[in-house]
Structure 1
Amino acid sequence: MLQRRKWDVDFLGVLSTNEETYELTGRFKTVFVNSQNYLQFFIKVINETPESFPRNQTLFTCYSTELEKYGFQENYQENEFNRVNELYEFLLDSLVLFKPSRKVLSNHEEVYKAAEIRLIPKLESYKVSQQFIAIPIFSKSVNQMTQEEFVDSLIQGKYVGTAEGISIEADDTPSIVLWKEENTYTAYGMFDKHEYAHGGFSFVSNAGVRTIPFTLWENKVYREGNDDDALLFVDQDTYIEIERELKITPPIIEDLRHTIQPEHAKSIRSDEEVDFEKEVKDDIYLIAEEDMQDKEEEFLEHFINITHEMGLQYYEKDLYNFHTAMKSNALTILAGMSGTGKSKVVQAYGRALGLDASQLIFIPVRPSWSDDTDLLGYVDTKNMLYRPSDTSLVDALFHAQQERNKLFVICFDEMNLSRVEHYFSQFLSVLEMEPNRRMLRLYSDRIAQQIYNSAQYGPEINIGPNVVFVGTVNLDESTYHFSDKVLDRANVITLDVKSYAMLKNRNLRDVKEKTRKPYTFEQYNKFKKQESIVSLTDDELSFLWELHTDMQNENKNLGIGPRVVKQIDNYLKNLPTNTFLSREDAFDIQVVQRILTKLRGPEGLLKSLIGKITEERVEGSLYQLIEKHKNVSKFTKTRSAIHQKAKELKVNGFTV
């Protein structure tokens, strides 16, 4: 009587070597012509198998007919040597996905066969000794839920649906699962056990559900390649690396009193318990916030001392402005006349953070750059290689993608020697997205398997929040002015230089008297406040709306978009507590840096808005507006900027 059993899971395998086949089966060849004159071969499983699967069973037999859908045609007229060699060569550069099955013959002999064969090209990084682990993939299209619903279900221990190809046995809980959103993956873990019922999984995490972007490892995985794939394989070393990153990440929801359990295990708490918990959480939050304020104050003091030691004579309020812009926005631009030390400010900031040469990267912009290939590189289609540009930017971004807890500052020196909108175009679009969606495209996924160095330079790079961009610009006849697309995304800062008499007071003391470790991204990120609710006052919002209305009345292409309002709000929320730069002055600075930089054009268009210079002041609707809103700020910087633009209109007939 013939008995059959099939495990409804996917295994990953590779063509066995002759030595492995002989050791396990007694046959001398992995590929051979069987008694029915068909080519037969052995596949060795290279992934962790279910607990119920026999530990000593690693080889599976298969037939060449399974490969016809991949273009393999067996030539029965050839001699046996050529037939075997052709199949061997055909499989040499592929891994094999398959379903395992077992036949128990009437003589009790067991035969293990690989069914539903699917071929996957080997990555350049493949090593013979590698073992792999399967990770299930969940998605909106397959599991009929949004990512938010999926996360809520994970936290509450609810059922999230099934993932085809993964073991459902109680002893085979995956510690990591993935959510797929378009072409981006997010990892969730660490899970200790699971239940499978009602056609789906529910997971339990004793330490709380944690999450990290998966982009760092996406070029190291094997999967079938379909849109509805529910499984991918990573090697054991990579899997351990992902687990380590998850373990050092705080849980998505932290609760001081209890860990959220599956829905059926929830307990009812009294009002007194809830109030006590809230009071404790608030106290701990305040203590942590005060501690971070002290650490940020210490960092800024160190930064200011370094600028003095380097001979830079800038006002403390301008350095606070620079730091606040850097931590609250993805792109900051230092503008001004040549020779004022803009690049040195960035160097001082990097030194204060303890960044090494691989983390603080200066990229001199060239006038000849016309598109992003000059900055990033290109695909050499003749040799099928990705050729990164000599700027080293791509290497730095891949480094940042691999070292998530390191901070990277990338400075484009003399950024406007070429048109920023051309060579920086991808970045301008990407930097507005959520961190896990900031995917910089180097080349098409369709040719990724054909690029020989795709393991080193994958088709995409994720620009994580640990990468901060800054540019230095000179505004003269040799440079290009920025378009609104750039100005909408950047703080454009002009630093005021102190009196030259201060040069004699250069601080020569050693600022390294304390041994300081480099700031990690996690430490730097704690300087930030990331609340999404807008906290601008009613008066501040009223001023911005009236300013927007005045600009729109003059020209429908002028105005203040919601993006800029949110960025001004984020800047003000992130202003450190200090005695140099008040909130009123910071709001004034933001009006200049985020709004007035875009006020450019001919006299006929802007005259009534900016006004003309009289003996005492500039008369125009903008000036009247800041007079009306004196309760918001004194608008010292704004008045000066309006006065400068009025002079430009008078002398040139246009503003720049």
Structure 2
Amino acid sequence: MLLDKEIGVYIAGILYPDVDLQAIQISNFGDILFKVKPISWVPKSIKDCASMHNLKIVFSGYAKNIAGWKEEVYYPEKERIEKFREFIENKIIIFKPFIERRGEKYYFNLSKETTPVLVDKPKGGGYSYIPIPILDEFSSIEFEKRLLNNQAISLKNVIDLEEVEDIFNVLYNNGYLYGEFQENDKKISSCIFKCSGDIKKIILSKVEDINNYSIVIGKRLIFIEESFLDNAIIDKLLGNGLSLINATSMEKANGAKEEHSATNSYTRVIVNNTLNIEYSDNNVIDELQFIEWFKYVSEKERMLYDLKTLINFHVSVKTGSLVILNGISGTGKSRLVNIYKSALGIDEDKQFKIVSVKPNWNDDSDIIGFLDIANNIYRPSETGIVDLLKDAQKNPNKIYIICFDEMNLARVEYYFSQFLSRLEMSGAERSIILYNEEKEKTLYNRSDYPPRIDIGKNVFFIGTINIDETTQSFSDKVLDRANLINTGVLSFKDWKHNFSNEKMPDRPINKEITMDTFESWVNSDNRPILSDRELDFFDKLNYLLDKNINKCIGYRVITQIDKYIKNIPIFPNDEKFKSIGFNRSYAFDLQIVQRVLPKIRGPLEELKDIIGHSKENGELFKLLNEFEDLSGFELTRKILHNKAKELDIHGYTS
């Protein structure tokens, strides 16, 4: 049984209708406390606890934790209760629960880790809703391949299957409902779902009255009223749905068949009993289309960037780690971030923030704010970061970018410390602490500034740096968590001629890129993609680093390199993209430059063996030669030559 820990299942609920239960009251601390009746599946651990201790399943929560509620603590208690009743009475509350134990008693509460939200009750009514997982992290191709080939489907980002007693009747993917799944379609772990048998699909938007009987929760779940699901959706699915198995059987006989839908068009081809799908999407923005648009926007802004630099920057952002742009002043580092923002089509005022770093910053209060104990108020920093994070939390399908300009004017490890440790985490752990929770009940603006704020996956952090006498160097703690991209200057003649060559792409983008679209470009498979040969390279590299400078590459860095490699865009049918050479060997070389070489710095005495002199006689050069089947390492060799030259001239390299 999970105690004092959030349970990974969303529940839909309503304000408890029993007046004798005092559904809304004022707590001993002066906060509004309310009771919730569940109207969807209840997690197994909640049911077990209620049965074991003879408890009624009623959930308690505080109004101050509800998104959108602003508390007026100075109003009379009766008025406060009535105002909150008006606010919540015709709404459905979506929340994650947790079980709290106080002594020998157990209580069912709304979790504070995931902010409860209110949604309007569907017009069709109903008091029993079934959750349907949204699995858009899989492309339509991959999802149908998994269904047809009886492969496992992970629900770990959606729901904890250990807490679900019943099997899901249907699943949602990219505009379609798939089902009906049967009892033999089983859970094979806490987060893996596997199915077999004949699966059909229908277009959800074409189900009559669907909007009157459903609630969409971000990109995780759709709650559908139970009787409507049984009588309208599943009947339609079984009667008129397109059978994946029958479609595939026809294709085996006919060779190939083209099938069109409201959202996608694709051709299925069976070759040697293997399903292959040639896919084209006329409505969804694909990654190649975005990269071409990104290049066009940069040219339109009268900036010239190598296409490889633009792709490298985009892939680095996709990995979710901190991205740092390094280069001499005036090479367009900040402009590149602005151009990326413009290519994404995000709102410059609400979803984009450039923060000018000040040299006197020395802790995180300089960027997020502080608790004013004397006046019982939280004072957010003038950077506006906290308000942007709050907005991002409310809009998970929008992309947000925070750029720290001249990031190393102050010590990043000091003012950015919380973010450094939290960005690589997931779920409730990916959050920052504004102040001690024990102080929350004393603050006048606690409803606006809770003690903890989540950092959504839809928030990306980018920094720009200059290396000169006014800046601070980075510690390994920062370098281990960042892709350090070196920007340069291309030919000025090319820059001039580029003005006359500006050409609108064949597929322009005239709308905002949503987080759903962005995540469709991300390979989130956790299984390592690095080959044994590539890992042998890193093992030997680690040996040299440890022997010479007492450093090494940890699992964090290897994981991030692996994530970068698996997120390289691959467009096998695009000759222009293939010709630029942004392939695996080039990306492997890039990651050595961006992830490993910045850590190799120090005096000649320490580095003379590992780097050597400019004649490529150092141990690292020999290692590159040994593994030249992986890459030519042109970029790595160039950086090592520069470091060897610095050692020869100055006796030190940074």
Alignment partner of 1:314 is 2:322: no
Q: Which amino acid aligns with 1:354?
A: G
Matched, 1:573 2:566: yes
Mapped to 2, the partners of 1:654 and 1:422 lie a distance apart of 26
CA-CA distance at 1:554 after TM superposition: 1.3
After superposition, the C-alpha distances for 1:609-646 in whole angstroms (9 at most, x for unaligned) are 11123xxx231100111111111111111111111111
- Contact 1:612/1:650 (<8 A) preserved: yes
Describe the shift of the 1:492–1:98 C-alpha distance in structure 2 as closer, same or farther (beyond 3 A). closer
> Could you list the per-position Cα deviations for residues 298-319 of structure 1 after superposition, in whole angstroms to 9, with x for gaps in the alignment?
1111111111122222211111
Deviations along 1:433-490, one digit per CA (max 9) or x if unpaired, are: 1144201111111122222112111111111111111110001111011110010011
Task: Work out whether residues 292 and 527 of structure 1, in 8 Å CA contact, stay in contact via their aligned partners in 2.
Answer: no
Change (3 A) 1:281 1:294: farther
TM-score by length of 1: 0.64
For 1:245, which of 214, 217, 231 is the aligned residue? Answer: 217
**How many residue pairs align between the two structures?**
475
Q: For residue 588 of structure 2, what is the aligned residue in structure 1?
A: 587
CA distance in 2, matches of 1:407, 1:453: 27
Match of 1:391 in 2: 383
1:645 corresponds to which residue?
643
TM-score for the superposition, normalised by structure 2: 0.64
Aligned to 2:537: 543
Whole-angstrom CA distance in 2 between matches of 1:596 and 1:413: 23
1:446 — aligned with what? 438
Shift of the 598–172 alpha-carbon distance from structure 1 to 2, 3 Å rule, reads same
* Matching residue's letter, 1:490: A
Question: Quick one: which amino acid aligns to residue 586 of structure 1?
Answer: A
1:607 corresponds to 2:608: yes
Alpha-carbon distance, 1:277 to partner: 13
Instruction: Report if the CA contact (8 A) 1:435-1:463 is conserved.
Output: no
Superposed CA RMSD: 4.3
In structure 1, what residue type is equivalent to 2:332? G
Relative distance call for 1:641 and 1:452 in structure 2 (3 A) is same
Cα 1:242/1:611, change in 2 over 3 Å: farther
1:413 aligned residue (375, 395, 405):
405
Q: Counterpart of 1:608 in 2: which secondary structure? A: coil
Q: Conserved in 2, the CA contact under 8 Å of 1:315 and 1:496?
A: no
How far residue 527 of structure 1 moved from its aligned partner, in angstroms, is: 0.8
Residues 515 and 499 (structure 1 numbering): CA distance in 2 closer, same or farther, change over 3 Å?
closer
Contact 1:176/1:187, CA 8 A, preserved across alignment: no
User: Is the CA contact 1:436–1:464 (under 8 Å) kept in the aligned structure 2?
Assistant: no
Structure 1 pair 553–515 and aligned structure 2 pair: CA distance change class (3 A): closer
Structure 2 residue 534 is the aligned partner of structure 1 residue 562: no
C-alpha deviation, 1:382, in angstroms: 1.7
Shift of 1:601: 1.2
- Aligned residue among 475, 484, 488 for 2:467: 475
Task: Mark the CA change 1:439 to 1:630 in structure 2 (over 3 Å): closer, same or farther.
Answer: same
SS in 1 for 2:490: coil
Matched-pair contact (CA < 8 Å) for 2:216–2:222: no
Pick from 483, 489, 496 the counterpart of residue 481 of structure 2. 489
Q: What are the Cα deviations for residues 563-584 of structure 1, in whole angstroms up to 9, with x where unaligned?
A: 1112111111111123221211
Instruction: Name the residue aligned to 1:125.
Output: 70
Offset, 1:122? 5.8
CA distance in 2, matches of 1:293, 1:413: 33
Is the CA contact (8 Å cut-off) linking 2:60 and 2:109 kept in structure 1? no
C-alpha contact 2:479 2:599 (8 A) present in aligned 1? yes
Q: In structure 1, what is the equivalent of residue 426 of structure 2?
A: 434
Partners of 1:435 and 1:465 within 8 A in 2: no
Distance apart, 1:525 and its partner CA: 0.9
Counterpart residue number, 2:242? none
Q: Give the Cα–Cα distance (whole angstroms) in 1 for the partners of residues 250 and 294 of structure 2.
A: 39
- 1:140-159 per-residue CA deviation (whole Å, 9 max, x = no partner) reads 888xxxxxxxxxxxxxxxxx
SS at match of 2:216: helix
Q: Distance in 2 between matches of 1:384 and 1:458?
A: 13
Is the Cα contact below 8 Å between 2:296 and 2:503 reproduced in 1? Answer: no
Per the alignment, do residues 242 and 444 of structure 1 end up closer, same or farther by CA in structure 2, a change over 3 Å counting?
Answer: farther
Partner-residue secondary structure (3-state), 1:130: helix
1:607 & 1:572 partners in 2: Cα distance?
Answer: 31
Aligned twin of 1:349: 340
What is the SS of the residue equivalent to 2:522? coil
Instruction: Note if contact 1:175-1:190 (Cα within 8 Å) is conserved in structure 2.
Output: no
CA drift at 1:201: 8.6
8 A Cα contact 1:315 1:497, kept in partner: no
State the 1:330 CA deviation.
2.2
Q: 2: CA distance between counterparts of 1:394 and 1:61?
A: 36
* 1:609 aligned partner, one-letter code: I
Instruction: Tell me, in whole angstroms, the C-alpha distance in 2 between the residues paired with 1:408 and 1:440.
Output: 17
The verdict on how the C-alpha distance between 1:641 and 1:61 changes in structure 2, with shifts beyond 3 A counting, is closer
Q: Is the 8 A contact 1:190 1:209 kept in 2?
A: no
Matches within 5 A, 1:52-201: 58=19, 94-95=32-33, 123=64, 125-126=70-71, 127-128=83-84, 129-131=86-88, 173=128
Higher Rg: 1
SS of 1:379's partner is: strand
1:188-243 CA-to-partner distances (Å, cap 9, x unmatched) read: 7899xxxxxxxx99456544499xxxxxxxxxxxxxxxxxxxxxxxxxxxxx9994
Structure-2 change in CA distance of 1:429 and 1:446 (3 Å):
same
Deviation at 1:323, TM superposition (A): 1.0
Is the 1:314–1:498 Cα contact (8 Å) retained in structure 2?
yes
Shift of 1:49: 3.8
Kept after mapping to 1: 8 A contact 2:368/2:381: yes
Letter in 2 for 1:562: Y
- Where structure 1 has 5 or more consecutive residues not aligned to the other structure, the ranges are 1-45, 71-89, 100-114, 143-161, 178-185, 192-199, 211-239, 252-260, 262-271
CA distance in structure 1 between the aligned counterparts of 2:558 and 2:322, rounded to whole angstroms: 16
Counterpart check, 1:506 vs 2:498: yes
Matches within 5 A, 1:609-648: 609-613=610-614, 617-648=615-646
Paired with 1:633 and 1:334, the residues of 2 have a C-alpha distance of 24
SS in structure 2 of the partner of residue 411 of structure 1: strand
Distance 1:602 1:209, change over 3 A: same
Aligned residue identity for 2:591: Q
Q: Residues 380 and 387 of structure 1 are in contact (CA less than 8 Å); yes or no, is this contact kept in structure 2?
A: yes
CA contact (8 A) 1:293 1:576 kept: no
1 CA distance for matches of 2:521 and 2:380? 34
Distance 1:458 1:545, change over 3 A: same
* Cα distance in 1 between the residues matched to 2:403 and 2:565: 24
SS class of match (1:370): coil
8 Å Cα contact 2:292/2:505 also seen in 1: no
Matching residue of 1:521: 515
In structure 2, what is the equivalent of residue 24 of structure 1?
Answer: none
Alpha-carbon displacement from aligned partner over 1:312-349 (angstroms, at most 9, x marks no partner) = 22211111111111111321110011110101111111
Q: 1:96 to 1:338 in 2, by over 3 A?
A: closer
- Between the two proteins, what is the percent identity of the paired residues? 35
For 2:558 and 2:421, how far apart are their aligned partners in 1?
A: 18
**How far did 1:496 drift?**
2.8
Separation (CA, whole Å) in 2 of partners of 1:47 and 1:480: 54
